[in-house]
A and B are shown apart, each in its own frame.
Chain A
Amino acid sequence: MPRPARWIVAVLALAACEGQIGSPTDPSGRPPSERPPTELGDPIGVTGLRRLSPLEVEATVHDLLAELGVEVATTELPRTPLPSPDHRHGFQTTIATGHLGFEQVRSLLEWSEAISERATADLPRAMGCTPTAAFDACTRDYATRLGELAFRRPLTGDELALFEDVHVTVAAETTPRDGVRALWELALTAPDFTYLSAQTVDDGSRLTPHAIASQLSYGLWGTMPDAWLRERIATLDTPEAVRATADAMLDDPRAETIVARFHRDWLNLASASELDKDPVRYPEFDATTAAALETELDAFVVRAVLEDRSIADLFASRDAFVNRRLEALYELDLRSSGDDDWQWRELPPERAGVLTRPLFLATTAGRGESALIHRGVAIIEHLLCRTLTPPDDAIEEALPIPVDASSGKLAAVADRASKPRCATCHDTIDPLGLAFESFDAIGAFRTAYPDGVAIDPAGTLESTFLEGPIDYAGASELLAELAEAPEVQLCYATKWSEWLTGTPPNAAQRAEIGRFTETPGVSIREVLLETLTSPWFLDRADLDAEIER
């Protein structure tokens, strides 16, 4: 029986309101995967200097202190004064989050002083010897370890001489402890700490094994290389060895944290503490439920990535990790004994993958009602890698969105569709959002609005990137179809590339990523390993060519 198809979505209509970022085609209309890198003219290797994110800095300092005999919880360390990352500008790991300004550089110096105070509170214990004003064996060994750990590579002779000079100069005028404090402050304020090394081997084309190890460590663990990884650095001289190491690193619990963080950043998900829902309408939604939403989503994405699931599975799977509260939310029969009893279950057919999980749905909702525009925009930006630019002046003519939206929002949808300036973007945003109207503000399934008006999430999606129109009865069918679309798989894979390298892939790199994802059923883990052994992870771009550009 033909499905009702009230909403026709033409993604190509977005051309009028989309910017350049992430635009997958060039003016010729050919996708990058059909164009050779040489024609694209982009450098294929690493070009930029990646700065550590605030979270990476804090994790690194924690590990650095622990390696040097000072155990202190990350939460007890002073926060780095670096600004919080701006989600609009990509991931927390993205290179280009702006230049450091004067206030930031000054505050970083002060921050390093607070850290050095903690690091040197009990020096004989931490160093295993008592420092003097001289750069004797005790201090030299300590300075070498500190420098090599902080810079994540061996120190050069000049650098060790610099450390010596700093210690001797300061200690001569103050105390041996101040001399050691200055070593810490130098180690933490030097660019070699703040930026990931891009040092190359002698011929200048390949990153050094130390630089590769750092990239692997921050990309997969969010912190500096540990003793295990440092032991393997010497072996990281072939893509095969890098692959084997990365594969082992993905089995470490630290990778689970990073996989969860990646997906929360990618989908711009709220944290549990930010979810504020109407207690009258959702009396069952409390802090424990909110936390359960996070646990479920994290478990789902970690399993998808680390257990070799396919990209399509991420967007289509009905597996869910649930406790009793989530069983109730999903309207499953109750098998869990309570909040702490978690089980893998299969969800009803109205669910499909990560975008039908309550954390995403509750993030893209208000306090009492779903927010269909937020959901439509999220699909366009996160799933299709398209960028929307807000209109300058269309709001003038649009109907206000009713506060308790319920079915009243449908009048606003029709209003936007009838006004050309609004419709430029909302002709695409709104129908995609309507497909998700079957989920309320906490992500529970429903068939009608609170005022009794039936919800009709059906529609048809047409786009040049699809082989033909997709008729869908609701979000799960739409997502199941999109999950197989090469465009969607490429988009997701480019997000991982950006996370791992700190750089949004250029057209040439996107073309290469397209080759990773064209294998039917390719796993996410495989895409990660391909990226981690790709030229833009292991090789340095020709800087002279880049300079000429």
Chain B
Amino acid sequence: MSSLKLTDVHKSYGKLEVIKGVDLEIQSKEFVVFVGPSGCGKSTLLRMIAGLEHITSGDLEIGGVRMNDVDPSKRGIAMVFQSYALYPHMTVRENMGFALRFAGVAKDQIAKQVNEAARILALEPLLDRLPKELSGGQRQRVAIGRAIVRNPQVFLFDEPLSNLDAELRVHMRIEIARLHKELQTTIIYVTHDQVEAMTLADTIVVLRDGIIEQVGKPLDLYDNPANLFVAGFIGSPKMNFMAGVVTASGHGGVTVELTNQGKAHVVLPLSGPAPAVGAAVTVGVRPEHFGLAGSGGPEITVAIDVAEHLGSTSYIYANTKSGEQIIIEREESRHELGHESITVAIDPAKTFLFSAAGERLR
């Protein structure tokens, strides 16, 4: 049993509340990623689960047992830190066996567990080195090894890849995914990088300002963001947002006029309650959902700022007439080279609509 449950968890430093009531259930063997901008409370939440931060109010259960006041070492968790936090004066072997030494495990048993973890991570040739003699990627693997040795129910990762260069980051990402498959344990992983979140997670938890904005499978969050924030946060490049005003509203849909875009009206079918005529709204279109001119749907013409041609894909950075920056993704398309402006079509079927308060309307 390595499920985990948070019930109405709060955290305050004096008068400053940083976690404002989090409810979350994590299943056994699930790979959960906490993602959000810096300062959203994701690391604090992880540290509360680890026992490094006191829980101001609410309950934390691991494997069905309330853990609020249990010592970090007795929660059945292991943690991998952003800076790796390897003990600089100990060899890799001593680092990995340190926790077991203080848990009173016999020496030969420690050696056995350390060797086993070293085998899984291919660390055997490095066991007698000091952390300063290792590369960044090797230190990262030792930090993971130190966590594995303790045989925890839940692994906690706090931005583990942010100190690595881009190539190594991709490599370690794959390694962590492989490890999850092999070890079959629950993993909670904190990152600000939504690419890491999308590629690693079974479930993504999007946090902002100490509250959960949305919980779901990576592609569900992409296809069905609950609000403007999640829509903007998940996806790279980001979803484009354009201001508009509702000009007609009725059963089954609304008509939105985009601000300063000539006569561009988007007619959108709605299932829920429709906003009143005159309400300010935000229209959201993902970069890959803009169509060519003439492909159907309302069209807007935008001024090209910069175009990046990567070969198979091109990203066109452009400005709308009201000054909003938008990004258009085109596959196998190079005919915009040298053009000053471009006309694109908005496909109502693939268009999102948000209220002024950021709620999802469509």
A, B in one complex:
no
> Interface on B for A, CB 8 Å cutoff?
none
> Interface on A for B, CB 8 Å cutoff?
none
